[in-house]
Amino acid sequence: IKKIVTAPPTPMLSFSPCKTRVLQLLRPPSNPPLADFVRKELKLAGARLDPNLRAPSKMTSYLGMSLVPLTELLPPKPGKDMPITGIPEKTGINYASWSPDGKHIAFFLRSTDGETEDEPFSLWVASTETGEARQLLETPKYYMSAVFGTYSWLSPDEILVSVVPSGLDHGAPPTKPVVPGGPLVQVNESTTSKQSRTYPDLLRDEYDCASFEHYTTSDLVAVKISTGEVKPFSDESRIYTRMSPSPDKKYVIISYIERPFSYAVPCGRFPKRVELWSREGEMLREIAYLPLAEDIPISFNSCRRGPRDIQWRDDKPAELVYTIAADEGDPKVEVEEGGERDVVYKVSASDFVSGKTPEPFFHTDLRFSGILWCNDDLAFGWASWWKTRRSVWYQFSPGSPEKPKEILFDRNYEDAYSDPGVPVTRKNKMRRSVLATFEDDRYILLEGEGYSPKGNHPFLDLFDLQTRTSKRIWESKDPNYESVGSFMCDGDGEDFALDDVSFLLSRENPNEPSQYSTISWPNGFDSEPSEKLLSDFPHPHPDLKDLQKKVLRYKREDGTDLTATLYTPPGYDAQRDGPIPCLLWAYPREFKSKEAAGQIRKSSFTFSYIGGTSPLLFLAQKYAILDGPTFPIIGEDDEEPNDTFVKQLVTSAEAAIDKVVELGVADRNAVAVGGHSYGAFMTANLLAHAPDLFCCGIARSGAYNRTLTPFGFQAEERTIWQAKETYMKMSPYLYADEITKPILLIHGDEDNNTGTSKIQSERFFSALKGHGVPSKLVLLPHESHGYRAKESVLHCLHEMEVWLERYCNVVGEEASARQAVAPKL
C-alpha cells in the first residue's frame, strides 16, 4: 500500500494557445510531508489563509517546468524537452499561465529553503523561445497577493497583478488583546428570516475583522513584460476579489469587498462593489453594489439579490452581461409559466460609460445558469429547477431580443440516458471560448458521456440546428473507454471547416492508464478517423495492473435497479479460491424517480487510479472491494426522499450484499462497510439500523448528529423544525445504544467542510464509548475534510488496515461465530 501511495505523480499538462507545444509541470509528491502543513494559518470569514504567503493556506507547488513540442511523445525522452531555466533552487511554482500569444509563461514563485519561505510570492516570466525565466517584479517592493485574485493578462505584453500594499510596509498586523474588551454580543431585531447552514471559520470579533482586512487587502499594478515598466492601476488599497479584462482588453471589471463584515456568513456574502474600469485603471462607472447578504434562503435555487454573474460577452469586444432575479432570489415565489424569474441584461461598455442603462434581452421562469455565445444571431442559454429536476436549453438571437427564444431541449436532468451532450466550443481571435458552428451556423458538434443501459460510451454528434436531428460521427469502442476533449485546430482563432476538425482524445482501459492522442477526419466523418499518439505514460501502480473489475446490476426489494463496481485482487478466481473478505464503500444520493436512480452511470472499461486514501488500495491486501454501489434515496412527486432514508439505505445494502454473496466472492459474515463524509454518515446509520449486515464499519469525516446541522444538510432543504422526526431518525448519534458492531472513526482535526466539524466524531465516539460499543477515534492533525499529508494518509490507511485485519479478515465458520458475538476491544 505504501509503495502505491508514494509513487511519483504524472506531470500536469497545459497546451499552448497555438496547440503546438505542451507546458509540462512537475507535480510535487501527491502527499507532501506534514511539516509542509504546519505553517501559520488564519481561519477568517470562511477562508483559510497563510498570513505570511498572503495566499490560501496549505498550498502545494510545482517543482519545475519544461516545454515539449507536440511532435514528441509524452513524457519526453531526455534532451527532447526544453526546461525552463533561471529558476532559483528550493523554490515552488504556482499560478503558471500562457500569454495570449504563447510567447511567454507567467508564474508565481515561492521560497522553500526554510529561511525565506515566509515571504509572499514573487512574479516571474519565462520566454517560450529560449526557456529562460526572470523575475518581473522586484521584491520586497512588490510581493504578490494571492488570497482572492492573482493576475490577468491585459495584453500579450502586459499583466495586471494583485500585490501586497507597499511591499510589507502597509502597517503592522492587528494585535489580539490580552484582556478582552468585553463580551461577544450578537443581536437580531429583524423579523425577517435569516437562516444559514453551519458555515465554519466565521469571523467572531473585531480582531478577526481587522485581521481579515489586513491580510486580504491588496493594490493593483500593471507591468510590461518587455520593459519591466510598472504602473499603479488602483487608486487605493482594497480587498480586491476579481479583475476581468474585456475581450478587446480596453476595459476591466473590478470587484472588491467592503465593510460591514458579518459574523454569520462567509466572505462571499459580504458587501461587494463591482465596477467598470478603463484599461489605464480609471474607475468609469459602478456596475453594482451588493449589500451584505445574510438572508439568502437556504432552499436550492436561492440566490443573492441584485446583479449576479457579471461578465463579458465572449463574442463581442466589450459588452457587459448580468442576471437579476425577479423573484428576489427566493425560489418559493410563484412564477407563472413563461414568466420572469430571472432576467438577463446587456449593454456595451462604451454605452454604459455614457450613462446608458442595460437592457433586458432574455428571461426564463426557471433559475438561469449561463449562456454560450456565438454571434448576434445565435446563442444558447440554460436554466434549471431543483424541485422538478427540469433542465431547459434555449436557442435565441442576442441581437434581436424581439424574436422569441426556442427550446432546443427540455428534459429531466436526472435522466442520464436522455442527455444530448454539450456543445463543443472553440477559441475565437480574442482567445475567448465561443460556440463552434459550421456551414453558416447550421451545424454544431455535441460531445457527451453517452450513458446507456450498456454503460457509458462517450460520443461526438453532428447536430443540425435546422432539422433538430443529430448524426453520430464518433463513439467510444469497447474494450476501451475513450473521450474527446478540446479542439486541437483552433490555435489561430480563425474559422475552420468540418474537414479540418481535430480533437484531443484520451483512451484507457481497466489495465492501462489514460493516454492522449489527436483525432481527426481528413477524409470526412463517414471515413475512419486518423490518430496521432501524444503520450505513453507508465502504469502508476503496476502491482495492481491485473486487478479485476466488473460492473454489477441487481435490484432492491422495491424493484429499483442498482449498480456497483466489484474489484477483486489480481489472480483471484471465485470458483477456485472461494469467498474472501469484502469492503463495501459507498455514498448515498437523492433522486426523484426510480427510473433515474436505476440508470447506469459508469463503464466497465475505465482505468482505476488508485492512491491517497482510496479503498481500492486494499486489493493489495487481498480484499474484494464493492466500490460505489448505488444507495439511491428516492422521493417521487411531492415525497421527501429523507423521510424514508433509513429504510432505503438498509434495503440497498441488503441487495448489494446479496449480490456479492451470490457471485461467490464474499462471505455474508465478512463484509465491512465504509465511507467518507456523507458515506461515513451512511456507515453509522447502517450499523445502527441494520446491525446484522456488516461485521464492522469505517467512517471518515462524517456528521452523525443532525441537530448540529439544523438548517439543512446535503440535499435536505427543510429545517429541523419542519422535519423533526426525519432529522432524529437520520441521526445515528441518537441510536448509539443500538450499535453493536465495531466502528472506526477518522476525522481531520481541522475539518472546514460545512456540517462536518470534528465535534461530530468526538461526540459520537463519546456516545459509543458510553454504551460499550467497540470503537476508536483517530483525529489527524492539521487535516481538513480530505487528508493530504503523507503521514496522515499513511496513518489513516494503517488504521483501516488494522481494523479490517481485526474484524474482517476471516470467512466461513469463524466469521459466522464472530458475527454472533460482538467483539470487544
Catalytic residue chosen out of the listed positions 36, 314, 490, 751:
751
**b/e code 741-761 from CB counts within 10 Å (16+ = b):** bbbbbbbbebbbebbbbbebb
Dist CA 118 CA 138 (whole Å): 17
Closest CA to 54 of 138, 118, 109: 118
Answer for the pair 689, 696: CB distance below 8 angstroms, yes or no.
Answer: no
Cell digits of residue 23: 507546458
Q: Is 232 exposed, middle or buried (0-12, 13-18, 19+ CB in 10 A)?
A: exposed
Cell digits of residue 232: 499603479
Cell digits of residue 596: 433515474
**How far is the CA of 367 from the CAs of 327, 342, 395, in angstroms?**
10, 6, 16
Catalytic residue chosen out of the listed positions 214, 771, 785, 795:
785
Q: How many CB atoms lie within 10 A of CB 26?
A: 16
Strands 580-585 and 666-676: parallel
| Residue 650: HSE in the Cβ half-sphere, 13 Å Cα cutoff | 13
Q: Active site includes 677?
A: yes
**Angle between helical axes of 645-662 and 678-689 (0-180°, round to 10):** 80
DSSP codes joined into one string, 604-645: TT------TT-GGGGGGGT-EEEE----EEE--TT--GGGGH
Cell digits of residue 530: 486518423
| Amino acid at residue number 774 | P
Q: Active site includes 350?
A: no
Residue 9, preceding peptide bond in cis (omega within 30° of 0):
no
Q: Active site includes 751?
A: yes
**How far is the CA of 529 from the CAs of 157, 170, 515, 596, 728, in angstroms?**
39, 60, 17, 34, 58
Closest CA to 707 of 781, 763, 649: 763
* Phi, psi (degrees; rounded to nearest 5) at 723: -145, 55
Find residue 745's DSSP bridge partners. 699, 777
**Maximum distance among all alpha carbons in the chain?**
84
Which residues are part of the catalytic machinery? 677, 751, 785
